[in-house]
Structure 1
Amino acid sequence: MPELLLRVVLAFSALLVLTRIMGRKELRQLTFFNFISGIAIGSIAADLIASDTFSLTNGMTALVVWSILTILFGVMDLRSRQARRIMEGEPVILVHQGEIMEHALRRARLDVNALKAMLRQKNAFAVSEVAYAVFETDGNLSVMKKKDAERTAGSTKFPMLPTEIISDGRWNRANMEKLALSHEEVLDQMKRGGLEGVSDVFYAEMEQNGSLYFSRKQ
């Protein structure tokens, strides 16, 4: 009985500390990696409490090591775009200007019926009324209807999605090429906003109306 109580107290304390360290994302915001990692930590904690063949030392070691790995990968996710892409993937555009992207749908492992069900949950009952539908890394679908996009874009003939050009102080060269946007144009806009260079920028994107948004690095 004393050992069982010790196991429960240690597992509870470890989970409390680890959940505080690892952040406070809501369940619907968790990526696949976060979700699997949470299940694994819960499973290790359950075995630590209930399994007679799982020693206290081994259980605590497994719980701490797995948690440290999760935290390290979380730090990598925050600091490296490449690591973020590997662990979480990238958002996928499933509907572009009212047209279903068949290859993107296959890549997301979805069929048309699943896509239509997700669109209906966003009050979009016809694909033709959708300007963009983006399948996010947490499994949610973000939808922009044509009428909303046109109202936001103003005089633009047909809107585009806001597009990242700088993230974590680094150029997104692929997006800049798609936008036919030069470094000189962006740097000129930066200086007008009191920013000396790309190292001063945490995040920047081109908005639907063609303007640039900058978030200063702190």
Structure 2
Amino acid sequence: MFISLVRTVILYVTIIAAVRIMGKRQISQLQTSELVVTMLISDLAVIPMQDSGQPLFSGLIPIFVLIALEVFLSVIMLKSSRIRRVVCGKPVVIVQDGRILQENMKELRMSIEDLFEQFRQKDVFSLRDVAYAIVETNGTLSVIKRAEVDYLRPVDAGVRPRDDGLEVVVISDGQLSENSMRLCGKNEAWVQKVLRKEKTPQREVFILTVNSAGDYTLIQKERVKKKG
């Protein structure tokens, strides 16, 4: 039992490392090669996890080989657009100037029901509102609405709103994040100044968010009332 537990932990950590090496993507954003590697890694990890008589390296070595192949292929695709097209394909336009390109839909084996389902997921409920629709290499649909039905931008109304920059969580449950401070251009001295101003010790902070403009939001921890 103990051996199975150790093997499971090792494989679990290995798979997490593999996903981290391959990059941060959601399942729906995986390219063809990444999806294949992910499926193979999960299958390879199950074999030594379930069969304690199987050598652990019989699962680890193929996983490491697949990771190396994926990283190598990613580097090659960065340098060669031709190889990238061969492996990942290319975006396909299925709506152009409001007109459905039926031949391209047949090529993708996409039905009208599939198309309108993805339209609705993009908050598009009428074909008349669509100027262009493109199926990306990872299978997701990008939609460009007609100008007259698209959302009104501040610049279209002659308004120039203030850019407050990126808002990040600087303190979470009393823990200070140095990385978040760098992202918003602040330092620990600035954070401590805010805490003194709010008369709140760092350990009592539930969340402190700050943006690049210096605006912050501080939420204190809720105090647990003792019964009795």
Q: In the alignment, residue 114 of structure 1 is paired with which amino acid?
A: D
Q: Distance in 2 between matches of 1:148 and 1:16?
A: 46
Please say if residues 3 and 52 of structure 2, whose CA atoms lie closer than 8 Å, have aligned partners that are also in contact: no
DSSP-derived class of the 2:110 partner: coil
Give the TM-score, by structure 2 length: 0.60
Unaligned runs of 5+ in 1: 153-218
1:13-64 deviation digits (Å, cap 9, x = unpaired): 3223222211112223212332221121111112121124632232222121
DSSP-derived class of the 2:147 partner: helix
Please say if residues 97 and 131 of structure 2, whose CA atoms lie closer than 8 Å, have aligned partners that are also in contact: yes
Larger Rg: 2
1:50-100 deviation digits (Å, cap 9, x = unpaired): 124632232222121122112211222222211211111111100000110
Unaligned runs of 5+ in 2: 154-228
Identity %: 29
Q: In the alignment, residue 111 of structure 1 is paired with which amino acid?
A: S
Give the TM-score, by structure 1 length: 0.62
Q: How many residues align?
A: 152
Residues 1-218 of structure 1 mapped to structure 2, 5 A cutoff: 1-52=1-52, 54-147=54-147
Q: Distance in 2 between matches of 1:95 and 1:8?
A: 48
Counterpart in the other structure of 1:158:
none
Please say if residues 99 and 128 of structure 1, whose CA atoms lie closer than 8 Å, have aligned partners that are also in contact: no
Moved over 6 A (4+): 149-152
Counterpart in the other structure of 2:192:
none
Q: In the alignment, residue 128 of structure 2 is paired with which amino acid?
A: S
Q: Distance in 1 between matches of 2:57 and 2:147?
A: 60
Counterpart in the other structure of 1:201:
none
Aligned-CA RMSD value:
2.3
Q: Distance in 1 between matches of 2:70 and 2:78?
A: 12
Counterpart in the other structure of 2:180:
none
Instruction: Report the CA distance shift for 1:93/1:12 in structure 2 as closer, same or farther (over 3 A).
Output: same
Counterpart in the other structure of 1:215:
none
